[in-house]
Structure 1
Amino acid sequence: MSEPIRTVLVVGATGSIGRLVVSEALAHGFKVRALVRDQARAAALPAGTDLANGDLTDVESLAGVVEGTDAVVFAHGSHGGGPSVTEAVDYGGVHNVLLALAGRPVRIALMTAIGVTVHDGGYNRASGAHDWKRRAERVVRASGNVYTIVRPGWFDYNDADQHRIVMLQGDRRRAGDASDGVIARRQIAEVLVASLSSPAAARKTFELVAGKGPAQSDLGQVFAALQPDPRGNLDGVLDLGNFPLADEPVRVREQLEAIRNRTY
C-alpha cells in the first residue's frame, strides 16, 4: 500500500492482547475500529475506539466492519476447543475478513504463535491449533496484501531485565514450553502496531521473543535484519517443508486458490 494508514481494524480487540493493540494504535494516532460481539467486554476499551459489531464466523456480518479500513491487526484466537473451533476461528476468521474485503488491499499484521510449524506434536494432534494457524498464515500470504506475521513466544514469562525485542526466523525452537522464548503482551502489541507503518516489516514472518537488555527505541532496524518471504511462497522464508499443500484438505486448497486469484 502506498497510501498512509489511517483506520486500523483490530480483530480480537477485547482479548488480553487485543486491548493492548487498541491502546497502542490509538497512541500512534490511528483511528481504531474494534470488531466486537460482546458489548459488555467492549466497555473496557479506551475512549475513542470505534466499535463495530460482527462475527468472525459469519462473513456477511463483516462487510460493514471492514469498510474504510486501511489495515487489519489479527490478535484473536480460539483458545482451544478442538479442531472444528480452531478451524472456524483461528483460520476461518482470517479467511472471512479477507473475503469481506473483496480484494481491496489493506496492510495486515497477523499474530499466530511460536511453534506454529510443529505439525507432529501432541498438542497439535489433539487440537489442530498449529495447523489451522499455519493455514491462516498461508491465506494471508496468498492474498497479495502487504503483511507482517508475528509468532510470539510464551506470554508474560519475562524476567525483570528482559525488555529487548528479538525476532527469529525458521521456527526452530520446539521444546513446547517457556524455554522456547518469552514475550510480554505489551511487547507483542507494540510490535504488531509498529509493523503497520514500517516498510522494513513488509512480507516478514518471525518468532517474537524477549532478550536481556533495554528496549529498543526504534524497531525499524530489527525488522530490516529479517529475510522477507519469497513472493508467491505460502510459508515463511526459513520454515521447514513439513506441511505439503498436496496433503491439505480439498476445501483449504480451493480457498487458497480462490484468495490468490480473487475468484471468490
Structure 2
Amino acid sequence: MTPRPLSVLIIGATGSIGRYAVAEALRQGHSVRALVRDQARAARALPDGVGLVVGDLTRPETLGPAMEGIEAIVFTHGSTTSERDVRDNDYAGVANVLKTLDGRPVRIALMTAIGTTRPGVPYTQWKLRSERLVRGSGNPYTIVRPGWFDYNQPDQRNIVMLQGDKRQSGSPKDGVIARDQIARVLIDSLHIEAAEHKTLELIAEDGPEQEDLTSLFASLTPDARESLDGAEDTVNLPVDHEPETFRGDLATIAAGNVTPER
C-alpha cells in the first residue's frame, strides 16, 4: 500500500543518516523540509525538491518557521560521545523542538543509539532523557536505537528489531546496521500503525532485506502509556532525582500534552 504523503521535517538532514532519510522520504512521496543552519551548504548537499528552512536547534526562537504545517518530524541529528555535546545538542534539540510545538500533535521518529540505557554513562543518559521527553509529549512516536553504522557485510541486510536494550558492550558486537536501512526504518515508521509507541534496537543479520516491515513492528511490545521508559527497558533514573534541566523541560512539554499527563 502506498503511504499517504506527509509533510515531514528532517532534523539533521545533512548528516550521515539524515541524507538517507531525506532520500527515502522523497522516494516514498512525502513533502520534505530540512532544518539547516547554512542554506547554501545544505542546497549543495541535498537533492532538489527539499524545502530548506534556516534555524538552529540550540536557539529555540529560530525553530517556529520550520514547523509550520508539519505533520511529522524525524530526528536524525547526533553529536559525539561528549556529555556536554550530547546534552547541549542531541538532548536540547529534542527539547527545544517539542517545546516549540507547544502541544500541537505531530508524528515523531527519533533516532538515538543501541546501549542508550547503559547505567553510569553520562552521555547516554542524555540520549535517554531525550527519549523520555518524546514519550512524555503525548505525540505518536517511534524510537529507533540503531547498532553500529555500516559495519554490516553486503549480504547482511535482514532487518532485526530487538527490545530491552540488552546489548551494551559499546562495540560492534552489539549489532550492526547500514545507514540507508536506519533511514528506511525511521521513514517507514511514520505510516505503519503498528510502529506507534514502540521503542526498539535496530540491527541487521545475514539475509536479504524485507519488503514490508509491518510484521516486525507488530511483533514489538508497545511502551506503557503511563511510563517514560521503553517497554522492556531496565532503567534506574527516578524523575525526582533527575537534573533540574530535564525536570523543567519535561514539565513544560507535558503541560501541552494532548493526552492525560503520565
Q: 2:227 aligns with which of 197, 222, 233?
A: 233
- SS of residue in 1 equivalent to 2:115: coil
CA distance in 2 between partners of 1:258 and 1:45 (Å): 34
Identity of aligned residues (%): 56
Post-superposition offset of 1:229: 0.1
Post-superposition offset of 1:179: 0.6
| Greater Cα shift, 244-253 or 18-27 | 244-253
CA distance in 2 between partners of 1:205 and 1:92 (Å): 20
CA distance in 1 between partners of 2:71 and 2:5 (Å): 5
Is the aligned partner of 1:59 residue 2:60? yes
Gaps of 5+ in 2: 258-262
What amino acid does structure 2 have at the position aligned with 1:245? V
For residues 97-108 of structure 1, what are the structure 2 equivalents within 5 Å?
A: 97-108=97-108
CA distance in 2 between partners of 1:174 and 1:87 (Å): 21
What amino acid does structure 1 have at the position aligned with 2:8? V
Q: Is the 8 A contact 2:117 2:235 kept in 1?
A: no
Q: Deviations over 1:53-81 (max 9, x none)?
A: 0000011100111111000000001224x
Post-superposition offset of 1:88: 1.5
CA distance in 1 between partners of 2:41 and 2:127 (Å): 25
Post-superposition offset of 1:251: 2.6
Gaps of 5+ in 1: none
- SS of residue in 2 equivalent to 1:196: coil
Normalised by the size of structure 2, how large is the TM-score?
Answer: 0.94
What amino acid does structure 1 have at the position aligned with 2:125? D
Change (3 A) 1:57 1:99: same
**Corresponding position of 2:260:** none
**Corresponding position of 2:238:** 244
Q: Is the 8 A contact 2:102 2:253 kept in 1?
A: no
**Corresponding position of 2:45:** 44
CA distance in 2 between partners of 1:61 and 1:255 (Å): 18
CA distance in 2 between partners of 1:28 and 1:101 (Å): 25
**Corresponding position of 1:27:** 27
**Corresponding position of 1:141:** 135
What amino acid does structure 2 have at the position aligned with 1:225? S
What amino acid does structure 2 have at the position aligned with 1:87? R
RMSD of aligned Cα (Å): 1.2
What amino acid does structure 2 have at the position aligned with 1:119? P
Q: Deviations over 1:162-204 (max 9, x none)?
A: 1110000000001110010000000000000000000000000
- SS of residue in 1 equivalent to 2:45: coil
Is the aligned partner of 1:182 residue 2:190? no
Post-superposition offset of 1:93: 0.2
Post-superposition offset of 1:144: 0.1
CA distance in 2 between partners of 1:238 and 1:153 (Å): 17
What amino acid does structure 2 have at the position aligned with 1:249? P
Q: Is the 8 A contact 2:163 2:200 kept in 1?
A: yes
